């Protein structure tokens, strides 16, 4: 299968600081569900930034949708980014727009006709339970509502790759389950999903998921952590991650 | 109020929040600059063209002045000169100025009543030559043949005035150009401030997949609108002033300034000022955004 993304000895540093990611190598096949786990500051968000084209690697090679991200031309980026949906850790909702307009943003940027926008956004808001807040401004929402709004915006345009940074951090366990089900549903429909999370108890819910563990910028157990056949290393890794979390 | 085909999508869907600039000082600054540039250009152009008009009218006119204290000899010389002039092809409208006319001409300088009967006056003969070349030729031969004759071509008097008019016009044009540059600089600052204020939103728009074009069009549109508002205001104010000044000049009724006035090409240039101001603002905004965005991934 053709890899959707491939990391080869990737290093990333911010400015002149020490590398926050070192020697990251893995491939992400289309249709995969991947968990990205690791302690706070391990580099999960940094790795996602490489995947959502917010940073170029400072070392090594990142290939995404067949393009080398280290050398890709700026003008090719928008088309790639439209294939990626991102739930940012800090949501990045656009505060001067209503909830409805926030979710509509990716469609409107693509130039989708307004009647379709209205229908799709309405449906999705319904799904994440925000229909009543459609015309509210994001800052008036609760943390969990903002999170759901951010997720709605990330998935509205049916991306090929969905990146979610700690998407269940602010919601109750039931909502966390529902959101995870949404991601699984999208995954079943063909979307490649990467979820960065501390919440290792979510891992067993997606038995087919691949787990990438980061430890202070390095891949922990690089061979074992990539593809886990059900019931073997994956379980061990989850176990280990669980212990680390405690 | 503004039709959708002018407003870019990014503006219709408010990808960036409405800008304060439209309600702030920027339109007034543009208005002031456009008004000053229009006034400067109008003044410069009407000066230059006014002098040109006068020069055209005077180019072929000349006066022969004969300085001779003895009235009898003077009369002979005048007769000889008139004969010489009449004998030539291409010389027309020969006229000997009467003594009374000469007195009148002198009165403003000497005071009325002070120009006595006994004051010796030179004789003056006005005439018009067909061409400047003929004028020069006639002047040379008259000054050689008639003792005490001096020929003044009227255009010659205007030369320093024309030079001054040109200098003033160039100064006015330079001032207009500097004002234009200053306006562009203010637009650059305004756009940069706008980009900084909305940096986070611009970032999100980029990450969601917006092309630079979306943001460029938005800024281009907003600053174009602000500039248009300012330019129209400034232009109307300048027009009012030009008409007011025009009336004052007409009221003077002097021959020199009667020739002043904007020729048709002057009006075209003056109308171009606000148009150029809006175009320049739009282009400046565009380039500023493009340059700023080229630095981010
Ligand atoms: N913009 C930045 N400039 C400099 N250093 C940064 C920047 N962003 C992150 N870092 C550093 O990089 C390291 C990894 O940060 P990152 O945000 O990737 O961690 P994380 O795994 O997402 O953590 P968390 O679970 O708390 O979100 C941290 O030490 C952080 O201080
Ligand atoms: Mg993070």
Q: Which residue of B has its CA nearest to A56?
A: B297
Q: Do the domain assignments include residue B152?
A: no
Q: Where are the domains of chain A?
A: 3-83+161-245, 91-158
Same domain, B246 and B166: yes
Q: Do the domain assignments include residue B154?
A: no
Same domain, B108 and B251: no
Q: Three-state DSSP class for A242? A: helix
Q: Which of B93, B116, B147 is the last residue of a domain?
A: B147
Q: Do the domain assignments include residue B2?
A: no
Look up residue A94 and give its DSSP letter: -
Same domain, B73 and B205: no
Same domain, B200 and B272: yes
- In chain B, residues with a C-beta closer than 8 Å to the C-beta of A53 are 207, 297
Q: Which of B97, B118, B147 is the last residue of a domain?
A: B147
Computed on alpha carbons and rounded to an integer, the radius of gyration of chain A in Å comes to 18
Q: How far apart are CA A94 and CA A75, in angstroms?
A: 24
Q: Which fold has domain A3-83+161-245?
A: Rossmann fold (3.40.50)
Q: Are the C-beta atoms of residues A94 and A138 closer than 8 Å to each other?
A: yes
Q: How far apart are CA A93 and CA A103, in angstroms?
A: 9
Question: How many domains in chain B?
Answer: 2
Q: How far apart are CA B49 and CA A169, in angstroms?
A: 77
Q: Do the domain assignments include residue B86?
A: yes
Same domain, B25 and B166: yes
Same domain, B33 and B87: no
Same domain, B41 and B170: yes
pLDDT at residue A90, as a whole number: 93
Same domain, B256 and B290: yes
What is the extent of the structural domain holding B72? 68-147
| pLDDT greater than 60 at residue B40 | yes
- In chain A, residues with a C-beta closer than 8 Å to the C-beta of B297 are 53-56, 74, 77
The mean-pLDDT minimum among A18-27, A232-241, B78-87, B207-216 falls in A232-241
| pLDDT greater than 90 at residue B154 | no
Is residue A20 in contact with ligand 1, taking CB distance under 6 Å? yes
The mean-pLDDT minimum among B108-112, B175-179, B197-201 falls in B108-112
CB atoms within 10 A of CB B270: 22
CB atoms within 10 A of CB A172: 10
| pLDDT greater than 90 at residue A121 | yes
- In chain A, residues with a C-beta closer than 8 Å to the C-beta of B13 are 101, 104-105, 108
Q: Do the domain assignments include residue B199?
A: yes
Q: Do the domain assignments include residue B231?
A: yes
pLDDT tens-digit map of A159-195:
999 999 999 888 888 888 888 998 999 999 999 999 9
Chain A positions contacting chain B at CB under 8 Å are 52-56, 74-75, 77-79, 81-82, 84, 86, 92, 94, 96-97, 101, 104-106, 108-111, 153
| B205 shares contact with chain A (CB less than 8 Å) | yes
pLDDT at residue B116, as a whole number: 66
Q: Do the domain assignments include residue B235?
A: yes
Is residue A60 in contact with ligand 1, taking CB distance under 6 Å? no
Same domain, B84 and B169: no
Look up residue B97 and give its DSSP letter: P
Residue A26 pairs with which residues in a beta bridge? Answer: A7
| B204 shares contact with chain A (CB less than 8 Å) | yes
- At A239, is the pLDDT very low, low, confident or very high (cuts 50, 70, 90)? very low
CB contact under 8 A, A55 and B297: yes
* Interface predicted TM-score of the whole assembly (ipTM), two decimals: 0.87
Q: Are the C-beta atoms of residues B235 and B274 closer than 8 Å to each other?
A: yes
pTM score, whole prediction: 0.77
Q: Do the domain assignments include residue B254?
A: yes
Of residues B212 and B248, which shows the higher confidence score? B212
Instruction: Collect residues with CB below 5 Å from ion ligand 2.
Output: A 44-45, 89
Residues in CB range of B52: below 8 A, 6 or more apart: B162
Distance of CA B192 to CAs A120, B61, B292, Å? 36, 61, 8
Distance of CA B111 to CAs A195, B104, B106, Å? 103, 10, 8
Q: Which of B117, B147, B177 is the last residue of a domain?
A: B147
Same domain, B27 and B83: no
Q: How far apart are CA B45 and CA B112, in angstroms?
A: 39
| pLDDT greater than 80 at residue B100 | no
pLDDT tens-digit map of A63-86:
999 999 999 999 999 999 999 999
DSSP character string of B167-226 = HHHHHHHHHHHHHHHHHHHHHHHHHHHHHHHTHHHHHHHHHHT--HHHHHHHHHHHHHHH
Residues in CB range of B234: below 8 A, 6 or more apart: B30, B31, B32, B33, B34, B35, B36, B38, B274, B277
Same domain, B238 and B142: no
pLDDT at residue B168, as a whole number: 86
pLDDT tens-digit map of B140-153:
887 887 777 888 87
Residue A102 CB-density burial (10 A; 0-12 exposed, 13-18 middle, 19+ buried): buried
Residue A5 pairs with which residues in a beta bridge? Answer: A28, A64
CB atoms within 10 A of CB B229: 17
User: How many Cα atoms within 13 Å fall on the side-chain side of residue A140?
Assistant: 11
Q: Which of A12, A35, A37, A44 to mutate to test the pocket of ligand 1 (most atoms within 8 A of CB)?
A: A44
Same domain, B109 and B225: no
Of residues A234 and A201, which shows the higher confidence score? A201
- At A221, is the pLDDT very low, low, confident or very high (cuts 50, 70, 90)? low
| Cα-to-centroid distance, A216 and ligand 1 (Å) | 10
């Amino acid at each position: 299968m053709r890899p959707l993304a491939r990391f080869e000895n990737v290093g990333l540093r911010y400015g002149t600081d020490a590398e926050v990611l070192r020697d990251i190598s893995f491939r992400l096949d289309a249709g995969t569900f991947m968990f990205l786990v690791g302690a706070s500051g391990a580099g999960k968000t940094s790795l996602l930034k490489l995947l959502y084209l917010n940073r170029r690697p400072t070392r090594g090679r990142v290939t995404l949708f067949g393009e080398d991200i280290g050398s890709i031309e700026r003008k090719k980026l928008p088309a790639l980014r439209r294939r990626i949906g991102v739930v940012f850790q800090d949501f990045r909702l656009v505060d001067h727009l209503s909830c409805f307009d926030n979710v509509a943003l990716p469609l409107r940027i693509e130039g989708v006709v307004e009647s379709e926008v209205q229908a799709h956004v309405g449906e999705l808001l319904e799904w994440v339970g925000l229909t009543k807040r459609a015309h509210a401004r994001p800052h008036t929402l609760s943390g969990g509502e903002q999170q759901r709004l951010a997720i709605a915006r990330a998935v509205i345009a049916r991306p090929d790759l969905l990146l979610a940074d700690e998407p269940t951090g602010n919601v109750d366990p039931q909502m966390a389950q529902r959101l995870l089900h949404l991601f699984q549903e999208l995954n079943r429909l063909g979307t490649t999903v990467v979820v960065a999370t501390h919440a290792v108890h979510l891992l067993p819910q997606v038995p087919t998921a691949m787990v990438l563990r980061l430890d202070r910028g390095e891949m922990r157990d690089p061979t074992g952590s990539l593809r886990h056949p059900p019931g073997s290393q994956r379980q061990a890794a989850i176990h280990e991650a669980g212990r680390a979390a405690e | 109020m503004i039709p959708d085909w002018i407003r870019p999508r990014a503006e219709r869907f408010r990808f960036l929040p409405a800008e304060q600039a439209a309600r702030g000082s920027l339109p007034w600054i543009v208005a002031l600059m456009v008004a000053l540039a229009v006034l400067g250009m109008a003044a410069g152009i009407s000066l230059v063209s006014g002098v040109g008009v006068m020069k055209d009218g005077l180019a072929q006119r000349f006066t022969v002045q004969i300085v001779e204290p003895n009235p009898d000899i003077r009369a002979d010389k005048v007769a000889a000169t008139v004969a010489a002039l009449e004998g030539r092809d291409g010389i027309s409208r020969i006229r000997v100025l009467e003594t009374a006319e000469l007195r009148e001409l002198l009165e403003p300088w000497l005071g009325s009543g002070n120009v006595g009967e006994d004051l010796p006056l030179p004789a003056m003969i006005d005439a018009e030559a067909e061409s400047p070349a003929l004028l020069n030729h006639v002047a040379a031969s008259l000054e050689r043949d008639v003792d005490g004759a001096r020929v003044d071509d009227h255009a010659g008097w205007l030369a320093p005035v024309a030079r001054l008019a040109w200098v003033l016009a160039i100064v006015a044009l330079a001032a207009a150009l500097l004002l234009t540059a200053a306006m562009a600089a203010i637009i650059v600052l305004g756009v940069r401030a706008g980009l900084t204020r909305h940096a986070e939103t611009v970032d999100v728009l980029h990450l969601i997949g917006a092309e630079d074009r979306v943001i460029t069009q938005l800024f281009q549109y907003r600053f174009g609108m602000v500039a248009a508002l300012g330019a129209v205001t400034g232009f109307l104010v300048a027009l009012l002033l030009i008409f007011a000044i025009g009336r004052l000049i007409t009221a003077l009724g002097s021959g020199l300034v009667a020739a002043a006035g904007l020729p048709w090409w002057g009006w075209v240039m003056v109308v171009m000022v606000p148009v150029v101001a809006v175009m320049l603002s739009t282009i400046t905004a565009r380039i500023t955004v493009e340059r700023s965005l080229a630095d981010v991934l």
